Amino acid sequence: MKEICLALNKDGAEISYQNLRYCVGCLRRKKVAEMEQPRSNSFNAPMNPGPLNSNDPGAALKAQRAKKIKFDHDPFSTRIEDLV
């Protein structure tokens, strides 16, 4: 750890040995705490699994694009309602 601290200081990252030890200890404790927590598989599940056509490989992409709000603006419109 002392060699790492010296290398960091040599490269321009000014950090004391005590602060480096403290930071590494915090990261280790955080990693242990994350490993002890049970994992949930919710991040693997799709947000809104609608019915998809299994014959169309691009069905999911088409459904996503259909939900997308489109910006429709005519820059050459002369109607005041379109300009405001």
Q: pLDDT tier at 48 (50, 70, 90 boundaries)?
A: low
List pLDDT tens digits, range 56-83.
778 877 777 777 666 666 667 676 665 5
Sign for the pseudo-dihedral over CA of 13, 16, 22, 24: positive
What is this structure's pTM?
Answer: 0.41
Residues 6 or more apart whose CB falls under 8 angstroms from that of 14 comprise none
Q: Which of 24, 27, 43 is nearest to 35 (CA)?
A: 27
- As a whole number, the mean pLDDT across the chain is 76
